[in-house]
Chains A and B, each alone.
Chain A
Amino acid sequence: MKRNNKDIFLIFGLLALACVLFAGQVYGEEEYDEEAYGPLKPIVWAKPVKGVVFLHKTHTMGAGLECDSCHNGEMFEMAAGTAEENDDFTMASLYEGKYCGSCHDGETAFSSKTRCATCHVGVKGYNRLTGVVLHDAEGGNH
């Protein structure tokens, strides 16, 4: 009897797990696994210009890249904020195929010479993502 009970629990447990997984599939929300996909929090650079955003989610979970596709000792360090300390972390380097430009060359992914505001979220985006509250500078009231 005791054993039977265990089996029933096991079966229910498996069913429940299947349900959760199935539901996840049906409703399109795969669990975001930071271990596999990298941090969920957007990376926001402030240098050399304020407000450039990078989302691990779009690149790993979305585009199917592996961690070492970019964290390979050449393009990006694992520690956040390392790249922007480099003097050559500029658009010119990207055009030469460094950093984001390794893929964003117009062939593998859209060229870093186009669609500027896709990654450049600007001062507005920077403030929004880092939670800076400004008194309304444009529009509305003061």
Chain B
Amino acid sequence: MKVNDLEKLKSEGIENLPSEERRRFLRFGLAVTGVFLGGSVLSLTSTRNAQGAMGPVPPAGKFPYKPHYTMVIRQNRCIDCERCMEACTKTNNVASYGYRTTILEQEIDLGRGEKGRMFMPVLCNHCNRPPCVRVCPTTATFKNKENGIVMMDYDRCIGCKTCMAACPYNARYFKEENRAIDKCNFCFDTRISKGESKTACAAACPAGVRIFGDLTNYDDEAYQLIHTPEKVVWVLRPETGAMPNVFYMND
């Protein structure tokens, strides 16, 4: 086809294209110009920063876990009733001097000099690149190959506490009764492996703050929440490169 012929063709209009095709076309165009890859010229530089700018949720299929367990925290709903902490302690036999999850109180700026309050639940982020797992000399802490939960094998723990030093989220403590590190495992041993669909904390939450779910299931509530385009989704301390699986948002 010559250029002259091309000019004679009538445009079909992009509105007639199926959205999938349109998306593919746009992606192609963006990839050619390099915009898709973080605007790097000719896509020569790393795409890692671009991912950071595009949000913390990894694209489907990037990690091999199925189910890929996750938790979404709808932060502004949290009222610090601490029922999650009570349920966690009871379910997982958490030591009195430790915790697997806790609520932090955050001071926020409402503007015009007014201060507001927000509560921030924190727990193990079950990172996709967990620093704690990398540093453990005896693989006592490991990432479950099937579901991505960061777990503990108490018998192998030597108690060097390097995982505690490595964790960006302060999610670990040493439990003397076990002579091992104790941490959140998304209630895998106490609930999830027994067929429950929610962790103890998520089940106990009266305000729907904690949504436990599966990143490989498109119908899952957690999946859908963090794939709501108009919502801002964030993770804690993304700069560490740990790629956490606990996502925060407001609703």
Which residues of A pack against B, CB within 8 Å?
A: 48-52, 115-118, 120-125, 137-138, 142
Contact yes or no, B104 A138, CB < 8 A: yes
Number of interface residues of B (CB under 8 A): 20
Q: Mark B189-221, 1 if CB is under 8 A from A, else 0.
A: 000000000000000001100000000000000
In the bound assembly, the distance between CA atoms of A51 and B117 in angstroms comes to 13
Query: What is the CB-to-nearest-CB distance from A137 to chain B, in angstroms, rounded to a whole number?
Result: 7
Contacts of B97 in A (CB 8 A): 142
Most buried by A among B80, B82, B97: B80
In the bound assembly, the distance between CA atoms of A100 and B165 in angstroms comes to 46
B247 CB within 8 Å of chain A = no
Query: What is the CB-to-nearest-CB distance from B106 to chain A, in angstroms, rounded to a whole number?
Result: 9
Q: Which residue of chain A lies nearest to B77 when distances are taken between CB atoms in the complex? A: A116
Contact yes or no, A116 B76, CB < 8 A: yes
Q: Which residue of chain B lies nearest to A135 when distances are taken between CB atoms in the complex? A: B97
Contact yes or no, B102 A50, CB < 8 A: no
Majority secondary structure, B binding face: mixed
B78 CB within 8 Å of chain A = yes
Contacts of B83 in A (CB 8 A): 49
Contact yes or no, A122 B102, CB < 8 A: no
User: Nearest 6 CB-CB pairs, A to B?
Assistant: A122-B80, A120-B79, A49-B81, A117-B117, A123-B82, A138-B102
B13 CB within 8 Å of chain A = no
Q: Which residue of chain A lies nearest to B75 when distances are taken between CB atoms in the complex? A: A117
Query: What is the CB-to-nearest-CB distance from A74 to chain B, in angstroms, rounded to a whole number?
Result: 26
Query: What is the CB-to-nearest-CB distance from A108 to chain B, in angstroms, rounded to a whole number?
Result: 20
Name the contact of A137 in the complex, choosing from B80, B81, B102, B116 (C-beta under 8 A). B102
Name the contact of A117 in the complex, choosing from B76, B82, B104 (C-beta under 8 A). B76
B99 CB within 8 Å of chain A = yes
Most buried by A among B79, B81, B97: B79
Contacts of B104 in A (CB 8 A): 138
Contact yes or no, B99 A117, CB < 8 A: no
Contact yes or no, B116 A124, CB < 8 A: no
B103 CB within 8 Å of chain A = yes
Contact yes or no, B80 A124, CB < 8 A: yes
